Amino acid sequence: MPVFVESMQKSNDYFWSLIIEPSWVQASIWYVDSESKKAEVVAVSPPGHWENEEELLASSDACLSSAVSELPEDITEPTKTVFGVSPSWVEEGQIKDEYLEKIKTLCGKLSLVPSGFVVLTEAIAYFIKAQEGAPISGVLIGIGAEVLDISVFKLGNLVGTVSVARSVSVTEDVVEGLARFKGQDIPSRFLIYDGKEGQLNEVKNELTSFDWTSSDKVKLLHIPKIEIIEPREKVLAVSLAGASEIGEASAIEFEPREERPEAGFKMEEIESNVEEVPDEASAFGFTANEIKEEFEPPPVPLVSTPQNLEVLNKAKLFALGIWHKIDNFEPKVPKNSFLVGLVGLATIFILGFVAWWVMPKATVTIYVSPKKVDAEDTVSIKTKAVSIETEGDKTMSVTGTKTIGDRAKGGVTIYNASSDRTIDSGTKITNSSGLVFTLDSNISIASGSASTPSTTSASVTAVDIGAQYNLASGATFSISGFTSSIDAKNESAFSGGSSTEITAVSEGDRKDLLASLTKELIEKGKDKLMEDLPTSEVLIEDATTATASAINFDHKVGDEASNLKLSLTVKTNGFSASKGDLGKLAENALRDKVTGGFVLRPDQIKYQFEVVSKKKDIIEAKVRFTANLLPEINITEIAKKIVGKSRSSAEDILSLTPGYTRNEIKFNFSLPSFLATLPHLVKNITLEVAAEK
């Protein structure tokens, strides 16, 4: 559960909850009621998108500003903050160093005082227990743009968490993650979440349509029930987790803004106390009980400062009170109808002005040219051993050939002109063309003379296949191991010899298939090692080795076949190093090449290793550091400069950005050209920086 560094000093102190997920951030404001011991959430911001540290700062600032705009006027903006973070940010109960630096930067830039943090999945599990009254047994799946965070809970206890790199199919990624919980029964309740609510319906449909009973990697007792955790529920979960630790709260309440009066007032109070707000009303040319004949519009604020937001919020409150007043009393019709029309036009102008000031939003993308730099250094790196087994099948066409057929058979007459002889089975006889046959059985032949040789019959078989052994009658043969006094002759033709060429497995076929599949599985093993590594680790690819095992061909050498299939298992062994350690080495190596106006970001550094030597867990390697330097840009300051500007003026300002190549400006709706300026509120401008491809 959460880790906290302080306790609440007094009752009803207000706190921030700030959720930071990959690509998304969201905020809320809450307090613990000292009497009911319930956490009361008073404001929730919509999620904000981010991709780098600058965007994280800007989006966090926008979310905090959005939540503050929901506060009643008598509440001071809080500073104490409970952070909700993704499981991949935490290791051994502590936030990893690279992410801790991000939080420290946020606290310094936004004047936040950290009170502690909570892992998002554990906060959600605690929230569900509070809502349902029973500990959860289920799988929580965080749908990130690049990684899925999968956490398994049983009866409220965390079994474990894994991170899986995203592929084309979310379902395959979920199956891959669950398969890592070997020997565990997986609950059949899936809860999915992220910062973009619309995407979750697509993921839910994909997971629901999958045939879970057909998977051989994950065995579920039942078809899983897929549920969506809404963004608001996540921020309530983090708020409850913080409140349970800080104020011993066991329940949470939140009344959405549309269900509660503006700025914390009740409608009856607005109706009965309209005369108590003359200052705010007079700013728009109105008083509580009369209409001014002369109307002066309010001054146009130049930038979206907290003071201007306060004026706008007061204007909303006043407008709400006026409309309520109109709905609940019969106004006296002025004698001067011209004055009535003037008031109507003034009212329309004010409402239109407020809408034009508050509602427009724009997304501004600045494309910049990155600067590529590299350096090489020989360093000693502390490593950790990692390994993985990969298996696969591959089939290839057979290229070998083989000749098959039958051997010719026939009978011969053996002539003996000397003493009696015994000739063994298998003795070779050869005709005048060199074709060889063998005796099928032992032969005994009596003695004879040259004038009257003795004879005996014998059956023979060709030593090889082929029709060339089908000899015509009258062929003569010599008998191996005997003199010319003994020879043989066939009285009848030989027959049965035949041959044909077929496709057959050769030794070369097996070697080629083994080499090809081994290479593929080695690459697959490297990819899997990199996927399974924590985001804080880097694989040293040059130190990777692999051994093949479980080699199974479906045919032997010489078997007749058109295709050959191989099933193979390869174990890949490698070493990983800390990305933080490598980042420091890269900073030292590239320090002289990072010129003014550019910044070196850890996520823009790539490494190539050439291992020199290895001793235990220390590898000495020649490393090439390659980095894309992006211009150092303060997007918050740029947003302030272009607020309220025309498109052409804004583009002139944007063009001054270091490394600028072009820009894109998109509005949430179209306005006439004379009104189509950039939004007048900084929080309504989303500014992004992208590398030009």
3-state SS of 223-258 is: CCEEEECCHHHHHHHHHHHHHHHHCCCCEEEECCHH
Nearest-angstrom CA–CA distance, 630 and 485: 101
Pinpoint the alpha helices (H) of 616-682: 635-642, 647-654
**Residue 650 token pair:** 């804004």
C-alpha 397: how far from chain center:
36
Q: What does the DSSP 8-state code read for residue 570?
A: E
For 163, 177, 218, the CA distances from 182, given in Å and listed in that order, are: 15, 10, 9
Query: With 70 as the cut, is the pLDDT of residue 308 above it?
Result: no
159 has a pLDDT exceeding 50: yes
How many angstroms separate the CA atoms of 164 and 179, rounded? Answer: 11
Question: 53-63 pLDDT, tens per residue?
Answer: 888 899 899 89
Contact 551, 564 (CB under 8 A): no
Question: Of 309-318, 392-401, 531-540, which one has max mean pLDDT?
Answer: 392-401
β partners of residue 114: 81
Half-sphere exposure of residue 534: CA atoms within 13 angstroms, side-chain side = 18
CATH of domain 401-503: 2.40.30
Q: How confident is the model at residue 488 (pLDDT cuts 50, 70, 90)?
A: very high
Answer whether 409's CB lies under 8 Å from 490's CB. Answer: no
Q: What average pLDDT is seen over the chain? A: 80
d(CA 187, CA 465): 66
In the predicted model, is pLDDT for residue 626 greater than 80?
yes
Question: Mean pLDDT over residues 476-482, rounded?
Answer: 90
* Residue 330 phi, psi (nearest 5): -95, 105
Beta bridge partners of 691: 368
pLDDT digits (tens, 9 = 90+) for 233-271: 888 888 888 888 777 777 887 766 544 433 333 333 323
Is residue 343 predicted with pLDDT exceeding 60? yes
Element (H, E) at 620: strand 618-631
Q: How far apart are CA 269 and CA 289, in angstroms?
A: 16
Q: Is the pLDDT of residue 438 over 90?
A: yes
Q: What is the 3-state secondary structure (H, E, C) of 47-70?
A: CEECCCHHHHHHHHHHHHHHHHCC
What is the predicted pLDDT for the residue at 145?
80
Instruction: Name the phi and psi angles at 592, rounded to 5.
Output: -70, -15
pLDDT at res. 505: 93
Assigned superfamily of 3-125+232-257:
ATPase, nucleotide binding domain (3.30.420.40)
Average pLDDT over residues 634-653: 87
Domain residue ranges of the chain, discontinuous segments joined by +: 3-125+232-257, 261-358, 371-386+524-631, 401-503, 634-691
Map tokens 């940010």 to a residue.
Answer: 89
Rounded CA separation 80/348 (Å): 42
pLDDT (mean) for 475-490: 89
